[in-house]
Amino acid sequence: MNDWSSINTYAKKWIREAGALIRESFSTELMIQSKSTPNDLVTNMDQETEKYFINKITSTFPEHRILGEEGFGDQVTSLEGVVWIIDPIDGTMNFVHQQRNFAISIGIFEDGIGQIGLIYDVVSDELYHAVKGQGAYFNEKRLPELETVEIEKAIVGINTTWVTENKRIDHSILTPLVKKVRGTRSYGSAAIELAYVAAGRLDMYITMRLSPWDFAAGLILIEEVGGKVTTIEGKPLNLVEQNSVFACNASLHDHVIENYIKQEDLE
Ligand code: 2AM
Ligand code: CA
């Protein structure tokens, strides 16, 4: 039997410590490289932060496995046992250009079931965490269940990429939704946007491509406040592959999929 309360205590301590190291790094020179494209950035701090977690986790919980964005963890292709899914810096472009609006994201799963989710907004010093069945918290204060929101009053997190010509979706599909809602926002960190959905600051978040480490923690947080996170087709997320992500207040989720995201247009 895993002691989730103890794992939660360690994870919260490590995420705050790692965040403090990232804040301290602002006074030193960053090493910045590109990965798959010139805009897909990675820094020495992404790599050092991931290694920091791997050292802590493997020495305290040697039987746990780790799926990390920077690839220093295990080769994880299925979710048997306990798996930590880690993004050491979500929003690396913000980290490099703005020194704010980035987060550490950690989702801990057991046999594919989300048990603990943590998102730490490092510069704001805001920690969101959730333990399955025990609710979600913002700086240790319990977040209430999400309330029903009318679509005309909804604020949607969406990147303008998805409403201009792009490789993944016909850019006209989401235009009626964007016109209908009260407003849109784009923060440049999927983890922060998912935490904002959990906290009721955004009513929806839509994106066409995220990796498991971008959404693993947010999924657990949002489900703990009664929200829904699926692909844009309304299907469950695959935790070891890239997915489109539609995270939403439950009252709006099915309404938006049925009325605004025509499935035949997605094909
Ligand atoms: P990252 O900073 O960890 O790479 C930006 O809109 C959001 O999308 C960030 O959370 C960013 O995470 C993520 N992201 C950027 N490029 C991506 C890619 N090629 N695949 C999946 N997620 C990506
Ligand atoms: Ca990252």
- Report d(CA 178, CA 182) in Å as an integer: 8
111 is known to lie in a ligand binding site: no
- Report d(CA 113, CA 130) in Å as an integer: 13
| Residue 38 pLDDT grade (very low, low, confident, very high; cuts 50, 70, 90) | very high
Q: Of 142, 173, 197, which closes a domain?
A: 142
Q: Which atom of ligand 1 is nearest to the CA of 186?
A: 6
- CATH number for the domain harbouring residue 63: 3.30.540.10
pLDDT of residue 246: 98
pLDDT of residue 39: 95
Cα 27 vs. chain centroid, distance in angstroms?
27
Q: What is the mean pLDDT of residues 127-150?
A: 97
Pocket test for ligand 1, best of 85, 189, 207 (most atoms within 8 A of CB): 189
Q: What are the pLDDT digits (tens) for 43-56?
A: 999 999 999 999 99
- Report d(CA 98, CA 48) in Å as an integer: 20
Q: Of 83, 114, 142, which closes a domain?
A: 142
Structure tokens at 225: 């406040």
Domain count, the chain: 2
Q: Which residues line ligand 1 (CB under 6 A)?
A: 40, 69, 87, 90-92, 159, 188-190, 209-211, 214
Q: Of 96, 116, 142, which closes a domain?
A: 142
Is residue 157 domain-shared with residue 260, that is, in the same domain?
A: yes
Is residue 130 domain-shared with residue 169, that is, in the same domain?
A: no
For tokens 């949607």, what's the residue? 156
- Report d(CA 184, CA 137) in Å as an integer: 25
pTM above 0.85, yes or no: yes
> Is a pLDDT exceeding 80 seen at residue 144?
yes
Domain range for 54 is 4-142
Tell me, in angstroms, the distance from the centre of ligand 2 to residue 96's CA: 12
> Is a pLDDT exceeding 80 seen at residue 267?
no
Phi, psi of 108, deg, nearest 5? -115, 125
Tell me, in angstroms, the distance from the centre of ligand 2 to residue 233's CA: 25
Express as a percent the part of the chain with pLDDT over 90.
96
- CATH number for the domain harbouring residue 168: 3.40.190.80
Is residue 123 domain-shared with residue 158, that is, in the same domain?
A: no
Is residue 133 domain-shared with residue 210, that is, in the same domain?
A: no
Q: Residue 49 contacts by C-beta under 8 Å, 6 or more apart in sequence?
A: 18, 21, 22, 88, 89, 104
